[in-house]
Structure 1
Amino acid sequence: MSLAEEIRACQVREGELALFWLGQAGFLLVDSLGQQLAIDPYLTNCGERIRGFKRISPMMLSPEAFHPDYYITTHTHFDHFDYDAIPVIARNGKTIFLGPESCQQEMDKLDIAHDHRRKLCVGDTVTFPGITITACRADHGTMAPDAIGLLVEMGGHRLYFSGDTAFHADLCKEVAAFGPEVAALSINGAFGNMTAWEGAEAANLVGASIAIPCHFWTFTEHGGAPWVFSEFLKKIGDCEPVCMRQGEMLLLAREA
């Protein structure tokens, strides 16, 4: 069964939330209403076309087969803002695209309809039925000055997606006030991102129960050490490290 078929067949009960890792920093959330929220999916080889970054991981999902209700891009780097996938996905006429001002400007260039877009900058909160999304701080330096992280409430669960960011203890403390159950953290340690050790420290500081490392092994230029993240996190806190394979689903269930 292909990943697209698995997503279509996904049955989620009330109080549950399905989380798929799409590779790199890409995730898909599916709730009991069948709503799909995509975050930073990198589905094509546009990085090689734009910057010469050859993809060494498999493409899990074709843009033509991907029809999320909501699609968030945290900043304009090609592995988060997929320049080749977004116009294809937009043709379905239902997906709502969200992202900061820089992403909105790139969507203008791609002729993404304004009535299918929502601006999402640091401090903004957007709500949909059963879903609340808040943009929080991320420090990706001058490479992406308006990059955001995400605090997501969906299906009765709270999740933090760091996006691309350097480590800052004060940022982690701000996220901790949200009370995330799950933290998905970029840990490749290059291009302004946290190292594996910093990612583990961030997971511990935000107080998540589950920490998922991401943003590694898609390009040789990125590197990444998820096993180091996992082993270090086990030593410093009670948070459970969960390393997912690309395309894998993690089912979150509400405690009785």
Structure 2
Amino acid sequence: MSIYLNSIVDNAGKTSVLHVGQAGFIFKSKKGITVGVDLFLTDCVERFDSLKRLSPKVVRPDELNLDYIIATHWHLDHFDVDAMPFIMANRKTKLLAAEDCREHVDNLKLDLNRTIFLSEGDTMQCDDVEVHAVFCDHGTGAPLAIGIVLYIDGYKIYIAGDTALRLDKAVDIAEYGPFDVMIAPINGAFGNLNEVEAVSLCEVHKPKLMIPCHFWTFAEHHGDPGKFMEEIKRLPDHKYLIMAAGETAVIGI
């Protein structure tokens, strides 16, 4: 097993998160329920779209033993079409995917009995983890994209997904809070929040911890965690964590 997977397994009895690069995270509850969100584990984007992956691959798809995997939209760095058949080969794994992922699911012939499609406003109880699909604005190329709020062990985690800054919608999302953790993109390309906008969203939601993502994966995607750090340091009450690919953190400590 990957040393990075070992790191999250070793945190038995703790709420923890493993960053696998780009916008991909694996969450583990105190009871050991695992939820992967937007896992990008292969070179499928280069194969289909000629965008070379720069970040390391820290976990192999066939190593995963997930209870649930979530895809917030159809883009290949969020729904990895080369990794998903291996992930779903584990008969216990269930897929929660945005409605625009149906074509991928059909093409890959994934088990529809273990697949649930989510739209904004949907809620799913996944063992001891509650999953809420919330508003996301990823433009006309992915109008059915969703954000995700996870309730795990009493913690509330907001995953913004690939989204533009829509402060007019933030009040609706805030109803799921207050948030212990917020994860949001900072690359500022393809309709996503940039470093400054991510901090503006942080000002609105005031999470106890902010984790930026969506940087250093493709040259074309941009994203500067150093610039994000400089921006958020202007808000001294806002804690943040820059996670490296393969890094594990315990939530609530």
TM-score scaled by structure 1?
A: 0.94
Q: Hey, what's the Cα distance between the residues in 2 that align with 1:253 and 1:55? A: 32
Aligned equivalent of 1:5? 6
Aligned equivalent of 2:36? 38
Aligned equivalent of 1:91? 89
Residues 194-230 of structure 1 deviation map (CA, whole Å, 9 limit, x = unaligned)? 1100001111211201100000100111110112112
Q: Hey, what's the Cα distance between the residues in 1 that align with 2:225 and 2:48? A: 27
Deviates more, 1:190-199 or 1:87-96: 87-96
Aligned equivalent of 1:54? 52
Secondary structure (helix, strand or coil) at the match of 2:200 reads helix
Unaligned runs of 5+ in 1: none
Residues 80-130 of structure 1 deviation map (CA, whole Å, 9 limit, x = unaligned)? 000100011111111100012111332111111111111111110001221
Q: Hey, what's the Cα distance between the residues in 1 that align with 2:240 and 2:3? A: 26
1:252 deviates by 1.3
Secondary structure (helix, strand or coil) at the match of 1:200 reads helix
In structure 2, relative to structure 1, the CA distance for the partners of 1:12 and 1:174 (3 Å cut) is farther
Aligned equivalent of 1:129? 127
Identity over aligned pairs, percent? 36
Aligned equivalent of 1:78? 76
Aligned equivalent of 1:181? 180
Letter in 1 for 2:124: V
Pick from 154, 170, 173: which aligns with 1:172? 170
Aligned equivalent of 1:226? 225
Aligned equivalent of 2:208? 209
Residues 41-84 of structure 1 deviation map (CA, whole Å, 9 limit, x = unaligned)? 10000000000011011101000101211000000101000010
TM-score scaled by structure 2?
A: 0.95
Letter in 2 for 1:141: G
Q: Does 1:26 align with 2:27?
A: no
Aligned equivalent of 1:66? 64
Aligned-residue CA RMSD (Å): 1.3
Q: Hey, what's the Cα distance between the residues in 2 that align with 1:22 and 1:112? A: 23
1:5 deviates by 2.9
Aligned equivalent of 1:190? 189
Q: Hey, what's the Cα distance between the residues in 1 that align with 2:126 and 2:90? A: 19
1:237 deviates by 5.6
Q: Hey, what's the Cα distance between the residues in 2 that align with 1:235 and 1:23? A: 26
Letter in 1 for 2:67: D
Secondary structure (helix, strand or coil) at the match of 2:173 reads helix
1:241 deviates by 1.6
Secondary structure (helix, strand or coil) at the match of 1:236 reads coil
**Count of residues in correspondence between the two structures:** 251
Unaligned runs of 5+ in 2: none
Letter in 1 for 2:201: A
Pick from 1, 15, 38: which aligns with 1:17? 15
Secondary structure (helix, strand or coil) at the match of 1:141 reads coil
Residues 146-165 of structure 1 deviation map (CA, whole Å, 9 limit, x = unaligned)? 00000110122100001100
Secondary structure (helix, strand or coil) at the match of 2:212 reads strand
Letter in 1 for 2:213: C
Letter in 2 for 1:107: V
Q: Hey, what's the Cα distance between the residues in 2 that align with 1:253 and 1:190? A: 31
Q: Hey, what's the Cα distance between the residues in 2 that align with 1:223 and 1:208? A: 24
Secondary structure (helix, strand or coil) at the match of 2:234 reads helix
